[in-house]
Amino acid sequence: MNQRVVYTRGGSPAEVLTVIEEPEPAAPKRGQVLVRTTAFPVHPGDLHTIGAYPGEAADPVTPGIEATGVVEAIGPETHVAPGVEVGGRVTVFPQSGSWSQWFMADAEAVVAVPKELPDEVAAQMLANPLTAVMLRREAQEHAAFGYDGFLVQTAAGSSVGRLVTGVSQFHNFALINIVRSERGAAELRKRFPDVPVVSTEHLGWAEEVRKAASGRPVSVVLDAIGGNMAGNLVDLLAPGGKLVSYGMIAEEPISVHASTLVSKSLTLRGKNIISGWPSETSPERRASDIATAKQIALALTDQFDVAATYRLGELADAVEHAVRPGKVGTVLVRP
């Protein structure tokens, strides 16, 4: 039998998610790969999608966009990526409905896992590293960034934030990290002692960011929070700067007066790895990005923290842990 996580209406994930049993999937068709899941991450974005689901679903919906597992079968006449073979370990992204013991994946979303990576890292190998690659590109392609501008990021202690820091160090980007608490700042300083960290726990945090920049311009801000925080970050940007919003932690809207945008010629841009990356990149660039994501996973393996691992029967605990304040690392589920 196959156990699959489903929901039929939007709401609190802990309340609307349930696990059903059904027969194992049939043989894959052309263009499909059957994967037996060994672990999947509970991304905050997964939970936001469940909470925002409109109305009632005609059929049960299975959440999830990423998982790692073993290839059980490949459809006839199906082109797969190098290294993908029956019995081989793979990670799948973006693949809707991956919270299941078995699932049928689109062949183009299946990527072979390097043998050096354990399942705990393989389960996080694509979504977060590709987000870091996407954000790096947004910074690097902004003309105002140049060689003297600073890059600032919020939620720097998150799984994505730590990878952005590692990537920024590799590319010699001048970076200032922002976190919510002094405790989180202390932890991040241990991991990256050469990168300034500012805690918004202090009322004068914005001035601390300016001091860390030492008079150099803040050219690009990567923001995972939104709301009032984003408005404050806009004030930090130098003329010609850009704010990239890629998260929705804050519930209130971003409030920015038009005069600020106009007088400073600022750019506000939203990015979404789930919909934006597949649709906005060419096949060649996607292949290059995936190769880079693998390199990030191999080079920064110690930054792929696992907050906790749960079984399917502990799903309610897993989704609660995934959004717990102060959580370090990604929550995983092993079916």
The pLDDT value recorded for residue 60 is 95
Q: Is 253 helix (H, G, I), strand (E, B) or coil?
A: coil
The pLDDT value recorded for residue 147 is 65
Mean pLDDT value across residues 32-42: 98
Q: 9-22, pLDDT tens digit by residue? A: 999 999 999 999 99
Is residue 234 within 8 Å of 128, Cβ to Cβ? no
Regarding pTM above 0.85, the answer is yes
pLDDT at 296 over 80: yes
Kindly report the average pLDDT of the chain as a whole number: 94
pLDDT at 72 over 90: yes
Q: How many Å apart are CA 76 and CA 88, to the nearest integer? A: 17
146: confidence class by pLDDT, cuts 50, 70, 90: low
Q: How many Å apart are CA 175 and CA 144, to the nearest integer? A: 15
Of the listed ranges 29-43, 47-61, 112-126, 205-219, the one predicted with least confidence? 47-61
The pLDDT value recorded for residue 144 is 62
Of the listed ranges 53-62, 153-162, 165-174, the one predicted with least confidence? 53-62
249: confidence class by pLDDT, cuts 50, 70, 90: confident
Q: 89-120, pLDDT tens digit by residue? A: 999 999 999 999 999 999 999 999 999 999 99
Task: Go through 126-145 and write b for each residue having 16 or more CB atoms within 10 A of its CB, e for each that does not.
Answer: bbbbbbbbbbbebbeebebb
Of the listed ranges 29-43, 52-66, 134-148, 260-274, the one predicted with least confidence? 134-148
Pairing of strands 242-245, 218-223: parallel
